[in-house]
Amino acid sequence: MEEAEKLIRITAIEEVGEIAKLDINRYLRTGIPEIVLAEGKCPEDLLEITVKALDKSGRVILSRVDNAQFELIQRSIPSDAVYEVNRRARVVVIKNKNFNFESHGGKVGILTAGTADIPVAEEARIIAHEMGCKVFTAYDIGIAGLHRLFPPLKEMIQNDVDCLIVVAGREGALPSVVAGLVDVPVVAVPTSVGYGLGEKGISALMAMLQTCSLGIAVVNIDSGVAAGAVAALIANRVAKFRKNI
């Protein structure tokens, strides 16, 4: 009887195990690359994960990489891999020599309120680019200096972007302003810029969630990866139909 029970349990788990392939299929279909959060991993573990991912998918993206991690990886990965290192964004993209990069046609615009928001914006840009989008950027367009906003925003609208990523710290008001001027969805990214009450991005995150402007959705503080991925997903879905015209 007890053995029977155990058998049932195991069978159940096996059935579920069958869905494993689904997950792999999804990456192929959607073009979301393997992205590994390096932060909190010891360099040896990160290297092992990197090698496996590279083996499996031909490309791996490491985010929030520190120097020790980067050095070990650089020393250890076969020299025929292609590296792109963005120290500001702390992102490393590694591709096998023969990795087949595919463009999907989505168009994403990225704006930052300040200079200190650029690392997060760059993280988002790399993800959206690696997902096959065309990315337009305009950094440090300020809030106190709104006049810097209009020329690049105008250019992005003329280029018919499908989705805007707006990155801001402190009071985090830029996404609300932008969403009031355009008719494409805005992905808002709070950054951990500022000090005092509301520091570490809390104030910016709250403002983006409390916004009176409609057409905004939010990702976590400093999460350029999440912003890049969801914006590229939106843009590529639009592009799928645009291509058919």
Q: Which of residues 66-85 bind a copy of itself (CB under 8 A)?
A: none
- Tell me if residue 20 falls in helix, strand or coil: helix
| Binding test (CB under 8 A) with a copy of itself, winner from 6, 57, 58, 102 | 6
- Min dist CB 5 to a copy of itself, Å, is 6
CB 90 within 8 A of CB 53: no
CB 224 within 8 A of CB 122: yes
List the x/- string, 176-215, binding to a copy of itself by CB under 8 A: x---xxxxxxxx----xxxxxxxx-xxxxxxxxxxxxxxx
Site for a copy of itself in 129-168 (CB under 8 A): 140, 142-148, 150-151, 153-154, 157-158, 160, 162-163
- CA–CA separation, 2 vs 228, rounded Å? 51
- Min dist CB 142 to a copy of itself, Å, is 8
- Min dist CB 227 to a copy of itself, Å, is 8
Q: 98 vs 158, which CB is nearer to a copy of itself?
A: 158
**Which token pair is 78?**
């076969």
- CA–CA separation, 144 vs 99, rounded Å? 44
- CA–CA separation, 162 vs 139, rounded Å? 18
Rama region for 64: left / alpha / beta (φ>0; ψ in -120 to 50; rest)? left
- Min dist CB 177 to a copy of itself, Å, is 8
Site for a copy of itself in 211-240 (CB under 8 A): 211-223, 225-227, 229-230, 233-234, 237-238, 240
Q: 97 vs 240, which CB is nearer to a copy of itself?
A: 240
Q: In angstroms, how far apart are the furthest CA atoms of the chain?
A: 77
- Min dist CB 80 to a copy of itself, Å, is 26
Q: 12 vs 68, which CB is nearer to a copy of itself?
A: 12
- Min dist CB 89 to a copy of itself, Å, is 12
Tell me the Cα Rg of the chain: 21
List the x/- string, 33-62, binding to a copy of itself by CB under 8 A: --x-x-xxxx--xx--x-------------
CA neighbours closer than 13 Å in the CB half-sphere of residue 225 = 15
In sequence order, what are the beta bridge partners of 92? 62, 85
